[in-house]
Amino acid sequence: MKISSLAEVHQVFLSFRGDQLRYSFVSHLLDAFERHGILCFVDKDELRGQNMTNLFVRIKESKIALVIFSTRYAESSWCMDELVMMKKRVDKGKLQVIPIFYKVRATDVRGQTGEFGDKFWELAKTSRGYQIMQWKEALECISNKMGLSLGDKSSEADFIKEIAEEVERVLFEILRKAAKDYQCISFLLDKKRKMYPIFPESKKSWKWSYQFLKCKRSRLKREKTNKV
């Protein structure tokens, strides 16, 4: 594991309703991310004509998902399917999600009410029951997390700055934990190599090494018994 590997892929996956926010709020947010050195993936970076599998791969590559809930977010089945994939990654402990409530109430997202709910139920009319259940579970899960909210009379410039700072903070925590885990693993490996010179460098030799040590312990135990 390399600590630098976090910088080799997109650090943040951005999920939002493109027709509503791409050339306004999101474009300014991406400028802020660039100034802060945050690597971010948005669907315009993906080749046109590709299916959603490629977006799911990008989600798996990312350390953080930023979900911008707006009034029209739930009208897109693509946005909702992205959200389901994020929930799966969150449940496995492999992704951190920061919900952003852009001029929409968290309670409306969580309960599919208000203007947000109207768009969701319009989409539900042309969707399958299993899909709707997954979408509702994902909305409840993600909207329940600690996030940031922008009201109708709030400053978008200040809000964008707040988002960038929060993403930086979460990325720092991820890097700090990765560094700590790396140091712990290195320490344990070094300790085992000193205790057992035959401790393998490659994973392929682990099974053989384990069997060798097991046989050695059994032999010593038998010798001790015979002496008694």
How far apart (Å, rounded) are the C-alpha atoms in residues 209 and 198? 7
Write down the catalytic residue from 8, 61, 75, 82: 82
Q: Tokens 């707040």 — which residue?
A: 162
210 CB-near residues (< 8 Å, 6+ apart): none
The gap between the terminal CA atoms of the chain, to the nearest Å, is 48
Contact assessment for residue 109 and residue 116, using Cβ atoms and an 8 Å cutoff:
yes
Residues paired with 149 in a beta bridge: 101
CA neighbor of 56 nearest in space, from 91, 82, 94, 36: 82
For residue 47, give the DSSP letter.
P
How far apart (Å, rounded) are the C-alpha atoms in residues 48 and 184? 43
Catalytic, 122? Answer no
Looking from the CA of 144 toward its CB, the CA atoms found within 13 Å total 9
Structure tokens that stand for 28 in this block = 């300014």
What are the residue numbers of the active site? 82
